Structure 1
């Protein structure tokens, strides 16, 4: 039987590794380092494990895996052990099983899904360092991408959010996260990963939380996307994924422009950071607003809302002598033709990265 789904997932992994590390590599496993597969036990991560066990080795890498147990459901340890057993049957070694500690306080602040994601990536980064991996592979699919774009639209949070799940992101220490199924030219869907598991004779776990309508993403997956497909016709998920690709290209271009501008117009002031009001005014609104947000985030760890961004921009475009703008963790004033950002007295926000704004700041992702 022709294993078309398994072949598609293998090609996606191969292409992602070649895009990141170049060339066809070596037939000798380990020559180019080790990759770490993130495993939950679901069809997406098991299909990714099977694909990596085949393609990564042929590209000159050894393969390790880590099964992340969030401990949020009864029997989760058994699910993790079963997933690890299946991954080992593919010839992957070592296979780690690690518990992700989900912070209750973070869950209250940002929701259980965001808290679990934060805990998961902390485990992934630690595991990658433990096994000496140069890349972490995750099983996000085109369907995940479509859902992310819809959630971004619902939040009204701009082009960066519409860019969805990036196919690649850096974690520091020379480690990158690669999402081969998102990057694949035609996208790998959940239907493909489920078929790949059947072809590889792997038994995927069905996470009950994936049908719990208390989660916004589940409602998007189970109700919103199917409704759009029925009313607008098939292909909506693919179109949303293409939208993410286009938005990401635009966002990356804007990011490059912002970095160039920041190097030229940002300087350190006695009490913080100053930006030339004239230089800001000379930029179109899209760049001006990005520069303002980047300065606030990179130097002060302040994530500005749309309202705060517009209020600060008004110090440039509608200057009538108005007083300082109080934003999360910072005070922004116009002084002698400059817009000055200072840390607000008593602000609980600590310093952001020690790198100067002019050295560039990591672009926001999801």
Structure 2
């Protein structure tokens, strides 16, 4: 079991851009998953292939969180990890749920820590069970391919080497290594949807459908991840070929958009919104945008979120037929300065209509 975990980590690092000898960080809460990952990474450090440190993020959401973070840091230091950094964050829950707010604060701080410490990779302890829960939650929301693909094994600096490992195996690794992990009480709090999936829904499915449901959901995520990667690549290529920047606006030609398959067209439309600094549009907002291509009824605007709107240019005296804006959908960020558009085009976007978020 420990040997398998070590191999998973080696394979993840070999597939990454982290050079041998560089610093990698373990994001550790002190729970069994991340503590098991830290112990496996510590073994890798002792082999001399990498330097391994850790970051413990204290969200301050529970009584005694500072003590829990300190205890985790001491355990990590005893494992031989260096440096070990404890980071306290403030979770701003305005406009989002507590889980999403904590996640955003955590990743923001991990980004800062990786930059300050010069890390080439950050290891996350998500397991096969976490991935299965993610897929089920996506199904419940009616999400698209990218969301149902679950959490990526790698995105930028972030690696998830344990996605093929069961949660119970990380508990066994901790037991084997003589580690005493902290068990987050929120993981069994029924007020959280993910906790209900973990403690009630998945066990019920396993009981009614037989063992193997979690692995089947994980397998589904891997299949869909390949499909989503391919569609994202095609939509990126289509977007680059079609879009025109006109001052503070992005134009996409209607005729060419109509000729695209729906799966690509919807991703191209979403890309335009994201490139303008807007939010990743929902499927319903993208479908509303597609109705503009039917040239019936309203010419818009359709609000896509994050200040971005889209409308169909109607030809009039001020818009001759030869004008590039005629026959196009026009995307505009009503909050952004005109010069922000050019800067937005130079930033790679991981959001291409898959309706997903951070790493």
Distance 1:304 1:285 in 2: 15
Which residue of 263, 280, 285 corresponds with 1:308? 285
Contact 2:121 2:159 in 1 (8 A): yes
Contact 2:289 2:302 in 1 (8 A): no
Map of 1:83-122 to 2, 5 A cutoff? 83-103=72-92, 107-122=93-108
**Could you say if the C-alpha distance between residues 330 and 133 of structure 1 is closer, same or farther in structure 2, counting changes exceeding 3 Å?**
closer
Shift of 1:56: 4.6
More displaced 10-residue stretch of structure 1: 39-48 or 83-92: 83-92
* 2:159 counterpart of 1:178: yes
Distance 2:88 2:173 in 1: 27
Which residue of 279, 285, 298 corresponds with 1:322? 298
**Could you say if the C-alpha distance between residues 347 and 62 of structure 1 is closer, same or farther in structure 2, counting changes exceeding 3 Å?**
closer
**Could you say if the C-alpha distance between residues 296 and 10 of structure 1 is closer, same or farther in structure 2, counting changes exceeding 3 Å?**
same
Shift of 1:340: 1.3
**Which residue number in structure 2 is paired with residue 293 of structure 1?**
270
Shift of 1:360: 4.5
Q: Could you say what secondary structure the match of 1:204 adopts?
A: coil
Distance 2:115 2:333 in 1: 35
Q: Under a length normalisation based on structure 1, what TM-score does the superposition of the two structures give?
A: 0.87
Distance 1:352 1:66 in 2: 35
Q: Could you say what secondary structure the match of 1:110 adopts?
A: coil
**Which residue number in structure 2 is paired with residue 28 of structure 1?**
none
Q: Under a length normalisation based on structure 2, what TM-score does the superposition of the two structures give?
A: 0.89
**Could you say if the C-alpha distance between residues 332 and 129 of structure 1 is closer, same or farther in structure 2, counting changes exceeding 3 Å?**
closer
Which residue of 218, 226, 241 corresponds with 1:241? 218
**Could you say if the C-alpha distance between residues 169 and 57 of structure 1 is closer, same or farther in structure 2, counting changes exceeding 3 Å?**
farther
* 2:35 counterpart of 1:54: no
Shift of 1:85: 1.4
Shift of 1:352: 7.3
**Could you say if the C-alpha distance between residues 280 and 120 of structure 1 is closer, same or farther in structure 2, counting changes exceeding 3 Å?**
same
**Which residue number in structure 2 is paired with residue 341 of structure 1?**
331
Map of 1:141-152 to 2, 5 A cutoff? 141-152=127-138
Query: What per-residue deviation string (whole Å, max 9, x for no partner) do you get for residues 287-344 of structure 1?
Result: 111111110111141432222211211222x223632133132332222211111234
Distance 2:14 2:45 in 1: 10
**Could you say if the C-alpha distance between residues 191 and 267 of structure 1 is closer, same or farther in structure 2, counting changes exceeding 3 Å?**
same
Which residue of 8, 11, 20 corresponds with 1:15? 11
Which residue of 120, 123, 138 corresponds with 2:109? 123
Distance 1:39 1:353 in 2: 38
Contact 1:165 1:365 in 2 (8 A): no
Distance 2:15 2:191 in 1: 38
**Which residue number in structure 2 is paired with residue 173 of structure 1?**
none
Q: Could you say what secondary structure the match of 2:250 adopts?
A: strand
Which 4+ runs in 1 deviate beyond 6 A? none
**Which residue number in structure 2 is paired with residue 331 of structure 1?**
309
Shift of 1:58: 3.2
**Could you say if the C-alpha distance between residues 59 and 278 of structure 1 is closer, same or farther in structure 2, counting changes exceeding 3 Å?**
farther
**Could you say if the C-alpha distance between residues 353 and 193 of structure 1 is closer, same or farther in structure 2, counting changes exceeding 3 Å?**
farther
* 2:252 counterpart of 1:275: yes
**Could you say if the C-alpha distance between residues 218 and 286 of structure 1 is closer, same or farther in structure 2, counting changes exceeding 3 Å?**
same
Distance 1:220 1:338 in 2: 44
Count of aligned pairs between the two proteins: 339
Shift of 1:269: 2.5
**Which residue number in structure 2 is paired with residue 208 of structure 1?**
185
**Could you say if the C-alpha distance between residues 300 and 123 of structure 1 is closer, same or farther in structure 2, counting changes exceeding 3 Å?**
closer
Distance 2:357 2:102 in 1: 17
Distance 1:89 1:303 in 2: 42
